[in-house]
Amino acid sequence: MKDFWRNFSRNRGAVVGLVVLLAVLILAVLAPVLYPGSPWDMAGMPFAPPGEDGMLLGTDSLGRDVAAGIAHGARVSLLVGAVSTVAALAIGVSLGAIAGYLGGIADDLVMRFTEFFQTIPSFVLAILLVAIFTPSIASIVFAIAVVSWPPVARVVRAEFLSLRSREFVQASEVLGKSRLSIVIGDILPNALSPIVVLSSLMVASAILLESALSFLGLGDPNMMSWGFLIGSGRSVIRMAWWMSVFPGVAIFLTVLSLNLVGEGLSDALNPRLARNRGGKP
């Protein structure tokens, strides 16, 4: 653990990312305390610029507080990012494990199935799924999970392919352990580090996907998210720049910090790789 932290903190960008990410998390947790009441409430006069009318970041076309929207939106955006990533991991890890451990026909079938999903442009598929199932938080999480599992499946398969022929796996097989317990107890823990790195990046891309969907008006109409804030401010951007800019900054910072943390995790979990890359102290 000490090693891990040392390796992680060697990457300064990752530390900055972690701090920003923690700040966003705290904002999300404290949103109901900082801004009690609904972010949809029309709290002030419409189109108040930042700082005026007691609004830190201004108000939107209905007089809703942009800062309250960003704080409450952080909850929705992070929640969607986390839940859809967990769902995508569940699909991707199981299929990747089956393909990589069993090999042969099972591998072929699963990989063709995965490629089928990879050939469809993921954003278009997500739009289609949300449009079919009508926009709601559940359909959005489902759509994001469906379009983001294939890379997980491929990474897990590759890990399993190389791990299943190692001696410790063979030893477990000789000991008569069941396949399931070998997969879960022996191989998976050793394949965890690339999965952890990948999932931090997936959270970032899930937040972006949700924002893009909300921007296009395919968000849950009853949930305030960052993409919704930008989408609703887009048309009046010449009149009220603050409506789009601040939520945009929030998305930018969060996604950037997730990427930095992902890189830091990758360095920390593969210290040799990081050192070989050189350059970094």
Partner 1 sequence: MAFSRRGLLAAAAAAPLLMRVEDALAQGIQPKRGGTLNSIVNPEPPVLHVGVNNQAPTLIVGGKIFQGLLRYDAKLNPMPELAKRWEVSPDGLEYTFHLQENVKFHDGQPMTADDVVFSIMKFHMEVSPRARGVFARIKEGVAVNPTTAKFTLSAPFEPFLLMFDVTVSAIVPKHLFDGQDYRQAPAVSKPIGTGPFRFVEWQRGNFIRLERFADYWKPGQPYLDAIIYRVVPDSQSRRLALESGQVQLTQSNDIEPFDVPQMRARPNLEVRTEGWEYFGPLMWMEFNHRVKPLDDVRVRRALTMAVNRDFIAQRLWFGIGKPATGPFHSATRFYDGTAKSAAFNVEEAKKLLDAAGLKPNGQGVRFAIKHMSLPYGEVFTRLGEFLRQSFRQVGVELQLESVDVGTWAQRTAAWEFDTTINYLYQYGDPTLGVERSYVSTNIKKILFSNVAGYSNPKVDELFTQGRDSADPKVRQTAFSAVQKILVEEAPLLWLLEMSFPSIYDKKLQNVITSGSGIHACFDDVFLA
**Where does this chain touch partner 1 (CB under 8 A) — which range of 18-26, 48-56, 215-223, 269-277?**
215-223
The C-alpha atoms of residue 68 and residue 147 are separated, in whole angstroms, by 31
The C-alpha atoms of residue 163 and residue 103 are separated, in whole angstroms, by 13
The C-alpha atoms of residue 239 and residue 149 are separated, in whole angstroms, by 40
132 lines the binding site for partner 1 (CB under 8 A): no
170 lines the binding site for partner 1 (CB under 8 A): no
- Which residue in 46, 194, 248, 271 binds partner 1 (CB under 8 A)? 46
Of how many residues is the chain composed? 281
C-beta of 42 vs 273, nearer to partner 1: 42
The backbone torsions φ and ψ at residue 65, rounded to the nearest 5 degrees and listed phi first, read -75, 120
Residue 46 C-beta: closest distance to partner 1, Å: 5
DSSP H or E stretch at residue 62: none
- Which residue in 21, 70, 201, 218 binds partner 1 (CB under 8 A)? 218
Residue 149 near residue 95, CB atoms below 8 Å: yes
CA 118 to chain centre: 18
C-beta of 162 vs 235, nearer to partner 1: 235
224-243: which residues touch partner 1 (CB under 8 A)? 232, 235-236, 238-239
DSSP H or E stretch at residue 6: helix 2-10
Residue 244 C-beta: closest distance to partner 1, Å: 13
The secondary structure of residue 49, as a DSSP letter, is: P
- Report the half-sphere exposure of 192 (CA within 13 A, side-chain side): 9
Report how far apart, in Å, the C-alpha atoms of 47 and of each of 132, 135, 274 are: 35, 28, 49
- Which residue in 73, 100, 135, 247 binds partner 1 (CB under 8 A)? 135
**Where does this chain touch partner 1 (CB under 8 A) — which range of 41-49, 68-76, 144-152, 190-198?**
41-49
- Which residue in 1, 36, 104, 222 binds partner 1 (CB under 8 A)? 222
137 lines the binding site for partner 1 (CB under 8 A): no
131 lines the binding site for partner 1 (CB under 8 A): yes
221 lines the binding site for partner 1 (CB under 8 A): yes
256, with CB counted inside 10 A (0-12, 13-18, 19+), is middle
**Where does this chain touch partner 1 (CB under 8 A) — which range of 13-21, 36-44, 83-91, 140-148?**
36-44
1, with CB counted inside 10 A (0-12, 13-18, 19+), is exposed
Residue 27 C-beta: closest distance to partner 1, Å: 23
Kindly write out the interface string for residues 48-87 of this chain, putting x where it contacts partner 1 by CB under 8 A and - elsewhere: -------------xxx------------------------
Number of residues that bind partner 1 (CB under 8 A): 20
CA 226 to chain centre: 14
40 lines the binding site for partner 1 (CB under 8 A): yes
Residue with tokens 């791990």: 163
Chain residues in the site for partner 1 (CB under 8 A) = 38, 40-42, 46, 61-63, 131, 134-135, 217-218, 221-222, 232, 235-236, 238-239
